[in-house]
Structure 1
């Protein structure tokens, strides 16, 4: 053996030793370098090639590992590694093809489990469920709980279809509790789902604390449960509480892209047409590329639809048209929803005619949506104020026009156009149709009652009697209906009216003698409250031997009016006692030396010259020889003339 060969073998041996050491310490970067040393001297060493692929996968360099497998033509030997790289690169169809074309029957356990995971990502839940059942049945190791958890996750997705049976899932771990709650929420049982989620949250914290997890790790795991809990609360109408949970989870900045997308989308739904700026920010986070691979097709469809609705709320006309068309291309199943959004924007832009044309074309091409589409057309026609076209559209619904709600709408529209005969004809036609076809469509009592009352008011007694007969079949013990039927027959068939009237209860069975006496004793001139009190008192009878109580005299006595302290009955009251002081004869008021005539006021309409007749200074003789100038003495104020100091303002509710 040559020296060169010995040196090569020693190098390879030392390199393998390093690879083993670094892999044991999870130092895969150093392990890759050690493998490269081996491949430098032995490029065809299959073990070294395999080691490098595994190290790259451990470093999450799946694209590089996949290319390395294809470059070195190891497609036939490293099937699991190649399929796993494709699975992690979100190339699910390619991964399934790699496994199925390997031709290995039966598949090794690891390939079987990988294939089941690929089926789950491809949303082939029924096939995935059967695969998991087979794996759980034919394996027994430490991963049994994980397999059962995955089985419950598959069952949760199957529960979205109400027609599919869902197997019973265990509830041993917090993950299984979580998946069981998802099954309940997908079955619209949100109260039960909330209860299970709260149990899952409690178990999760207890388990992770026992495992020694940090608070950050616990919060990251709890956020998944809490976002699902918020969804259940939101579906129950507790939007405020749900919004708080979404905001709290997003504030933690979770690493799970799917969690961010779901929480952001649901927060946008809560905002609706409010907080538009915040909604735009959140919808961008929900539609990020990093979320694409983590979400199911149903979740991506809902987020795209909400993005289109948000554009409608912001009245971005061009954006609505673009997004709705893109929505149809990506998700043809929701073409009708996209059309409604587009037509709603056209209606906002007052382009009702264009919206109606688009809806009519869609209704003609899609018979399954014709009924709902025509109602959208009717709504637009009514927005235009075009009642006649709305009536024609309703009449074009075929036998559906006999449904109680549609009959009611037609009657209302006919009455709105002052066409009472047409409204009566609609009700009569509906009554005849139900009688001829013996159709039972829920509780039709309201329709029969409205039809009967309408025809009774219109004088169509025979039609009213037919409606009342049908109503009596639904409510045979309704005496009001029976009485109305007697009234209806009395107008055209007195014999039948007399026959039916015998079924009415007698007056004695409806009232008692005491009630009749009370009604006769009541004074109808009195108020209803007083009459009720009188009737109640009439029922009370004094027991024998008890002397009748004498009527008490009223304790209230009329109080005498109070007089002022300086009141003098011998002096006649001042005739001007009701006039304000400034309007009384001889009133003088000094204000900065001005005389009274400068501030005399008069009633409205009085000429300014009339103030001189009230100026007493012009009538007094000021000569020295004249008798003493009479001094004007203000009379004693009467009982209603005493005012408080501070003016003559009238107080609200007081006296003056």
Structure 2
């Protein structure tokens, strides 16, 4: 009888537990679970519910003592990713939920940026699963593909095979395009993702967000990640003003809502602030100082990727150099070395830039030279190209061309970029190293992979000019023919070809029978006369303005310029406006026979009859005579006047009033 009572009590408690779980009241749920475990301590389902409640209440350490899979998940949530993965990979480790174990392992691999193993795990999970979470796994798979693409641009996967069912999938596809540097296409995808999210919110998600008590500001925060990525694409396309406006709008939204987007995602704030500082560079340092402080928040450190953290520290070091905070710079440089020991090139670059900022070229040169001495026995790696190019810049400023040429020659073997080849070409030409220049042209410009690259045309032009100037017309013809294949025939190219052929094969130049490949619809083996491609003499003469050439200030000087008559200006067709002339007003005493004064146009003070007026301003100035002795003056006695007594005042006589007639 008691067992039946216990079972009914447990059943009632589970019903109550279900209601509390639906309402999200996990504290009360814990009390109900404790009652169930008090009745039956080994109740497996109750233990599982207890762990779920502890996880929902963020009490991960307490939850980790119950089940191993859940313990690994708690370690994962506590950012002990390596420990969690080590436990999951133990050979004796078994779990009732093998599928959940593989899912957690894939997430841990993603957080550790081990994208290759993570990709394999998700492919296996998708093959072997047919449940409600399949769509979410495709979202995670596209995120892994974007990570793989950022590490290796040659990685290929058919993204079209994954349907654009959710805005997250479209967003991750846009991230893949960004990793491939297709920014314009990525902007279109991001706009599509934003549109799908907005529509979904209006139709489906409205009820969900209302039930959870979310506000419209939180929806804007969800969209902020898409908008931040959109702004980054604009920044990479050199639309800095538009990108800056979008970044500031995201930060403004954060300040209005008092949330950290999602709504406690400081990682996005760090990325946005870092990108704003990158746009400002060494300008607007006051705003950059505020933004860099917002970016360096500890809460974002666990959520940023290694590359993002590296860029953040790198930019902060550059900011400290720009604001001349060198003591703090040295402190953060040591921190940079400790946190990113593999980024050796970056530390040398930053330290050298500090000397370069102070215009201490020798100090910067010593830092970079030290790096080259360490790697003296090995070829430069693609990640070290920036260091060597910085060193080349310093050497060029000090006119050390031979050392420059040696470094650039090694770089060409590692990464034969046209910009590096062009710089080496100019250095060889400046130092008159013709043999090395010819080897450079043979080794790089005449390669098959460069024969279909239009950007090689300027270098081929320079090579043709070099060969023509050094009496090697055959080699010049080879360069010109390559340009014809890439660019097509132009009168200038044809004339250069004829000129080069005339130097070693006059008969061929005379007949104008040079084979030129036809493009598109034309037969490749056909012959065509170059003479037909050139304009006729009549066309050239008609297109030349002889008068303009004669009137131009050419090299012989103004003396030899033909004087031309003033040509009347072209007037507009229409009725000519007649201006009325004013009638001349002559003086009254005008005498037409009298000879006018020849000095009438001169100023008055320059005329011969001019007499200067006396200057009255000097009156009263200067000495006015000597002061003599004043004789003593004695006052004469005054005449005594008899005193007058007081007068008697009589009353004044009043005037009579006038009276009117009666």
- TM-score under structure 2 normalisation? 0.68
Closer/same/farther in 2, CA of residues 198 and 486 from structure 1, 3 Å limit? closer
- What corresponds to 1:171 in structure 2? 164
Q: Deviations 1:210-245 (Å, cap 9, x if unpaired)?
A: 232431232121112111111122222222111111
The 1:106–1:471 alpha-carbon spacing in structure 2 relative to 1, beyond 3 Å, is: same
Whole-angstrom CA distance in 1 between matches of 2:120 and 2:545: 82
After superposition, residues 415-494 of structure 1 pair within 5 angstroms as 422-423=431-432, 426-431=433-438, 434=441, 439-440=446-447, 442=450, 446=458, 450=462, 453=465, 460=470, 462=471, 464-465=472-473, 467-475=475-483, 478-485=493-500, 489=503
Residue 565 (1) aligns with residue 586 (2): yes
Which residue pairs with 2:624 in the alignment?
Answer: none
Q: Does 1:151 align with 2:149?
A: no
SS of 2:288's partner is helix
1:458-506 CA-partner distances (Å, limit 9, x unpaired):
xx5x4x435434434435763332354367x4xxxxxx46435414567
User: Is 1:233–2:242 an aligned residue pair?
Assistant: no
Does structure 1 residue 339 correspond to structure 2 residue 348? Answer: yes
Q: CA RMSD in A?
A: 4.7
Q: Distance in 2 between matches of 1:100 and 1:410?
A: 53
Distance 1:334 1:578, change over 3 A: same
Match of 1:199 among 181, 184, 192: 192
Structure-2 change in CA distance of 1:51 and 1:510 (3 Å): closer
Map of 1:629 onto structure 2: none
Moved more, 149-158 or 124-133: 124-133
1:183 CA displacement: 2.0
Q: How far did 1:84 drift?
A: 2.0
- Indicate which of 311, 315, 338 corresponds to 1:306: 315
Taking a change above 3 Å as real, the CA distance of residues 305 and 558 of structure 1, as seen in their structure-2 partners, is: closer
Change (3 A) 1:120 1:9: same
Three-state SS of the structure 1 residue aligned to 2:376 is helix
Counterpart CA distance in 2 for 1:44 and 1:198 is 53
Report if aligned partners of 2:10, 2:36 keep a CA contact under 8 Å in 1.
yes
In 2: Cα distance, 1:580 partner to 1:287 partner: 79
Match of 2:266 among 257, 265, 279: 257
Q: Map 1:367-382 onto structure 2 (within 5 A).
A: 367-369=379-381, 373-382=387-396
Matches within 5 A, 1:320-335: 320-335=329-344
More displaced 10-residue stretch of structure 1: 325-334 or 336-345:
325-334
Structure 1: give runs of 5+ residues left out of the alignment: 417-421, 490-495, 535-554, 589-594, 601-656
Q: Residue 130 of structure 1: CA displacement?
A: 3.5
TM-superposed CA distance for 1:520, in Å, is: 12
Q: Which residue of structure 2 aligns with residue 29 of structure 1?
A: 27
- Asked if the contact 1:359/1:377 (under 8 Å) is kept, the reply is no
Please give the secondary structure, in 2, of the residue aligned with 1:202: helix
Cα gap change, 1:501 to 1:235, in 2 (>3 Å) = same
Which of the numbers 271, 276, 279 marks the counterpart of 1:270?
Answer: 279
Question: Equivalent residue of 1:502, what SS?
Answer: helix
Task: Flag the 1:470–1:219 CA change in 2: closer, same or farther, 3 A.
Answer: same
Deviates more, 1:386-395 or 1:348-357: 386-395
Any residues of structure 2 matched to 1:119-158 within 5 Å, and which? 119-158=109-148
Other-structure match for 1:631: none
Give distance in 2, aligned partners of 1:194 and 1:518: 47
Contact 1:262-1:286 within 8 A present in 2 as well: yes
Structure 1 counterpart of 2:249: 248
Unpaired segments of 5 or more residues in structure 2?
210-214, 255-260, 513-529, 554-560, 566-575, 618-662
DSSP-derived class of the 2:314 partner: helix
How far apart, CA to CA, are the structure 2 residues paired with 1:340 and 1:183?
A: 29
**1: distance between equivalents of 2:457 and 2:39?**
93
Deviation at 1:569? 1.1
| 1:235-256 C-alpha deviation (Å, 9 max, x unpaired) | 2222211111111112222222
Q: Determine whether 1:597 maps to 2:638.
A: no
Which of 53, 56, 71 pairs up with 1:55? Answer: 53
The corresponding residue for 2:518 is none
The 3-state SS of whatever aligns with 1:119 is helix
- Distance in 2 between the 1:596 and 1:396 partners? 90
1:321 deviates by 4.1
Distance 1:434 1:483 in 2: 22
Would the aligned equivalents of 1:427 and 1:451 in 2 still touch at CA under 8 Å? no
SS of equivalent residue, structure 1 residue 368: coil
Report matched runs for 1:9-20 at 5 Å.
none
Contact 2:368–2:387 (Cα < 8 Å) also in 1 = no
How much has 1:393 moved relative to structure 2? 5.3
Question: How far did 1:171 drift?
Answer: 0.5
Q: Distance in 2 between matches of 1:20 and 1:524?
A: 97
Residue 605 (structure 2) pairs with residue 579 (structure 1)? no
1:295 to 285, 304, 309: 304
Q: Work out whether residues 227 and 263 of structure 1, in 8 Å CA contact, stay in contact via their aligned partners in 2.
A: yes
On the 8 A contact 2:79/2:302 being kept in 1, the answer is yes
Alpha-carbon distance between aligned partners in 1 of 2:60 and 2:600, rounded to the nearest angstrom: 109
